[in-house]
Amino acid sequence: MHNMKRNKDKNQKLPMSFIVRIYRFTGEGTDGMAGVVEAVGDGEERGFTGIEELWEILVSAGKRGR
Q: Name the residue type at position 4.
A: M
Instruction: Give the pLDDT confidence score for residue 34 in this predicted structure.
Output: 93
Instruction: Give the pLDDT confidence score for residue 56 in this predicted structure.
Output: 94
Helix, strand, coil distribution of the chain in percent, nearest 5: 40, 30, 30
13-46 tens-digit pLDDT: 556 889 999 998 877 766 788 999 998 888 889 9
pLDDT tops 60 at residue 61: yes
3-15 tens-digit pLDDT: 444 445 544 555 6
Residues linked to residue 21 through DSSP beta bridges, in sequence order: 36
